[in-house]
Amino acid sequence: MLWRRRRARAGARARHAAERTTDYIDGRLPLSEGGGLLRKAFPDHWSFLLGEIALYSFVVLLLTGVWLTLFFHPSMTEVVYHGSYTPLAGVRMSAAYESTLDISFDVRGGLLIRQMHHWAALVFLAAIGVHLLRIFFTGAFRRPREVNWLIGVTLFLLALAEGFAGYSLPDDLLSGTGLRIAQGIMLSIPVVGTYVSFFAFGGEFPGEEIIPRLYALHILLLPGLLLALVTVHLILVFYLKHTQWAGRGRTERNAVGKPMVPQFAASSGGLFFMVFGVLTLLSGVAQTNPIWAYGPYRADVVSTGSQPDWYVGFLEGSLRLVPPWETTVAGHTLMWNVLLPAVVLPGVLFAVLYAYPFAERWVTGDREEHHLCDRPRDHPVRTGLGVAAISCYGVLLAAGGNDIIAYAFSISVNALTWVFRISFLVLPLLAFMVTRRVCRALREADQERLTEGEETGELRQTLAGGYEERHEPLDEERRYVLRSYGLRGEEEREPSAEELER
C-alpha cells in the first residue's frame, strides 16, 4: 500500500510539473494552437505523394550538397592533374574539374554522394513537374489556391536554374558545351545581349568568373529562395487545407483523412526513407554524369552526341528545329533561330503557366471556392490543352536527340528534323481533339453506368428473339461519387427535348 501511495504522489507531482511547463511555454509560444495542427487531417491518395517526393528529394539535395561543398573548389585556375584517374594524368584542367575528379576517385564515398546529388536533382525536378500536372488536371489551382499555384510554378523555374547551375560546375566538356550554348542565348537578346554575356562571364567566353558565380548561386541564393518558397507553400497547404477526391462524407467544407500525428507523420516519414533508399540504390547501380569520360572543357572542342539533362532537353530540341533565320536592323543582327526557341518560347511557356488560373476563371466565370479534385474527363477542354502541351514537350525533347536517333536508325538528320517540325505543329492539335473526344466518351460511359448499372458481360435472349446484356446496379459509394461530379441517374436527370415531345 505504501508504494502505491508513493507512486500516486509521484504521478501527481509529474502531472503538476507538466501542467506548469505547458502553461509557461503556452504563455510565450502558440503551443495550444499548435496542438490543433497536430490533429489536422490529410487526405490519403497516391497522387498526393508526388509533392512529398519532391520535398524529400530536396532534403536529400540539401544533405548531399552540404557534404560536397567541403571538397569542391569553385575555381577556374589552371592546374595539372596528378590524381588517381591515370588516363587524365598530366592533363591541364581547371581546379573545379580536378576537385570533381578527386571527389569521384580519391574521397571515400565521394562518387556515391555525388551521384546521389545528381539523381536527387533529376527526381526533384521530375516530381515537381508531375505534381504540377496533377494540380492542373484536377483543377487544384482554382480559388483559393491561385497563390500556391504561382509559388509552385516559381519553384519549378528556380529548380531549373538551380539544376543548370549545378550541372555546369564540374567544368567538364559536356557542361562547358552547355555554357557555350547559354552564352549564345544571351548574345541573341537584342541590343543588350553582349552586355548580359560580359556581365555573366566576367569578360570574353569562357572567362575566369563564371564557375565562382554559378557556385554562389547554386549553394546560396537559389537554395535559399527554394527553401523559403517551399516553406510558404507548406504553410498555405496547412492554412487552405488539402484538396481531396469526392466521396461519401467529403464536401467542399471539410477534409477527411489521416491526422498529422501519428498516422500521417509515420507514413510520410516512411516515404522519406523510401525516397532516400531508392536514390541511394540508383546512385550505386546506375551511373550518371561520368565527367571523367568527357574530359576537361576546352573552348575549341565540342563533345560528340552531347545531351543535357532531361529538364532542359526541350530547349535543346527547340534550338535544333528553328531554321537559320536572321534579320539585320539598324546594324543589329537578330538571330531568330536562337531568340525564338531559347528566349521567347520559355518566356511564353511560363507566362501561360502563371496566367492560366486567372484566364480559366475569366473564361468560365467560375469564382467559387473548390476543395474537391476534378476528374480530368469532366473538363475536356482543360485536359485537352494539358495533353497538347505534353505532346509539344515530347516532340521537343525527342528533337533534342535528333542526331543520335538518326544515327541509331540510319535516318537522314534533315528528314528527321522536318518530321519533328511538322509534328510540333500538327501533333498538339490532334492530341487536343482526341483527348477532348475521349474525355466526353468517358463521361458518357459514366452516365450510362449510373443510369443502367455496371455491365456484367452476360447476355440473355429475350422472348422476341433478341439479346440484351445484364447490368448490375452500382453500389451506393460509386453512385455518390458520380453524382458528386454532376452526373444524374435516370430518376434524377432532366428529360431530353425528344422525350418532352413524346
We report the CATH number of the domain holding residue 314 as 1.20.810.10
pLDDT at 28 (0 to 100): 56
Cell of 120: 536527387
pLDDT beyond 50 at 76: yes
Task: State the pLDDT at residue 30.
Answer: 58
* Same domain, yes or no: 187 and 83: yes
Residue 27 is predicted with a pLDDT of 61
Percentage of the chain lying above the pLDDT 90 cut = 57
Alpha helices by DSSP H, listed for 193-259, are 193-201, 210-216, 222-240
* Better-scored residue on pLDDT, 269 or 469: 269
Look at residue 304 and tell me whether its pLDDT is greater than 60. yes
Rounded to whole angstroms, how far apart are CA atoms 27 and 91?
A: 65
- Is residue 10 located within the same domain as residue 119? no
Instruction: Compare 119 and 482 and report the one with higher pLDDT.
Output: 119
Contact between 400 and 413 under an 8 Å Cβ cutoff? The reply is no
Model confidence, pTM = 0.88
Give the pLDDT of residue 22.
61
Tally of structural domains, the chain: 2
Look up residue 317 and give its three cell numbers.
530540341
Residues 248, 245: Cα–Cα separation, whole Å: 10
Residue 7 and residue 141 in one domain: no
Contacts 24+ apart (CB under 8 A), 332-337: 332/190, 332/191, 334/188, 334/190, 335/187, 335/188
Tell me how crowded residue 281 is: count the other CB atoms within 10 A of its CB: 11
pLDDT of residue 26: 58
The predicted pLDDT at position 161 comes to: 95
Among residues 305, 278, 309, 33, the alpha carbon closest in space to that of 167 is found at 309
Would you say residue 441 has pLDDT above 70?
A: yes
Domain coverage including residue 27: 2-37
- What is the model's pLDDT at position 502? 40
Mean pLDDT over the full length of the chain: 88
Q: How many CB atoms lie within 10 A of CB 227?
A: 12
Rounded Cα gap, residues 20 and 172, in angstroms: 61
Judgement on whether residues 26 and 53 belong to the same structural domain of the protein: no
Q: What is the arithmetic mean of pLDDT over 12-17?
A: 73
Q: Is residue 363 part of a domain?
A: no
Highest-pLDDT range among 172-176, 180-184, 384-388? 384-388
Decide if 211 contacts 171 (C-beta within 8 A).
yes
Looking at the structure, tell me whether residues 52 and 32 fall in a common domain: no
Over residues 12-27, mean pLDDT: 68
Same domain, 27 and 65: no
Quick one: 244 and 315 in the same domain?
Answer: yes
Same domain, 22 and 140: no
pLDDT confidence of 229, banded at 50, 70, 90? very high
pLDDT for residue 33 is more than 70: no
pLDDT for residue 40: 77
